[in-house]
Amino acid sequence: MNSFLEEQDVHVNKTDSFAKLINRQRLSPKLWDYSFFLLRNNLHTFTIFRDLVVSEKKNKILDVGCGFKPWLDMFDKSQVEYIGVDFDKEKSSADFVASADKLPFPDNDFDALIFSEVLEHADNLPGVLGEMRRVARPGALVYISSPFVFPEHGIPYDFQRLTRYFYQRAFEKDEIIVLKESNSSLATAFASFNMVGEWTPFTAIAGLKHLVYSIFNILGLAGDLAVGLLLKIAGEKFRPQFYAMPLGYALVVRIRK
């Protein structure tokens, strides 16, 4: 019996530690985070989303794939109704357990919706987009982020990588307020070393990885700066070639119905 309780405590402690790490990375990315560029871009884009939600008084928010609700801390909890949905109650702070393609809510129910690192895990992507539109009120704001050049994760529920062109077509009838890649292809080249460090046995060298990640992220920042200077000389028409392999994308969309 004691052994069982000890195992339960270990499970709770690991879950709590993971939740704290994920929430910190979402809200306060650090240079030593292996996916620093992705996290930084997601936070910047979410801040734009949050400011619009607050200024337009869109007070009923749905977070699909909410995990441990890191984004809730970006809002005044007394001013919003924040509902989280996830497929696993034990590994999240979800208020409802449901699939993203079968949301348990009526039509036109939410002012704002969050799909943070969700769409790559959808095995019924058209169904998820359909549900997003169904439960969104006319004029609702939607925040979406997804990885692009990124390791397989959430295995085996990792089904696709989405490009800017997918998002442009998926929301062509709506207003795309922001659609931003996380970094240049050159920065991705440096950040790829961090991916190898994090997603292979090399991660066992825990005492060194933050130093290594910081070095490669600094090189990536220098790469982004060099690309920016080059584009000022060569012209923005070459931007697609230099930003074709970001770590990910983040966007804010206003739903038109």
Mean pLDDT, range 106-132, rounded to an integer = 97
| pLDDT tens digits, 30-73 | 999 999 999 999 999 999 999 999 999 999 999 999 999 999 99
CATH, domain range 2-184+244-254: 3.40.50.150
Whether the pLDDT of residue 150 is over 50: the answer is yes
Per-residue pLDDT, 207: 67
| pLDDT tens digits, 4-39 | 333 333 334 446 888 898 999 999 999 999 999 999
Per-residue pLDDT, 10: 35
Per-residue pLDDT, 84: 96
Distance, in Å, from the CA atom of 167 to the CA atom of 165, rounded to the nearest integer, reads: 5
Per-residue pLDDT, 11: 38
Residue 231, exposed/middle/buried by CB under 10 A (0-12, 13-18, 19+)? middle
Helix (H/G/I), strand (E/B), else coil: 240: helix
Ordered by start, the domain boundaries in the chain are 2-184+244-254, 186-242
pTM of the model: 0.91
Whether the pLDDT of residue 228 is over 80: the answer is yes
Q: CB under 8 Å to 247, separation ≥6 — which residues? A: 35, 37, 38, 147, 148, 149, 150, 182, 183, 188, 191
| pLDDT tens digits, 166-204 | 999 999 999 999 999 999 999 999 999 999 888 876 665
Per-residue pLDDT, 89: 82
> Containing H/E element for 188?
helix 185-199
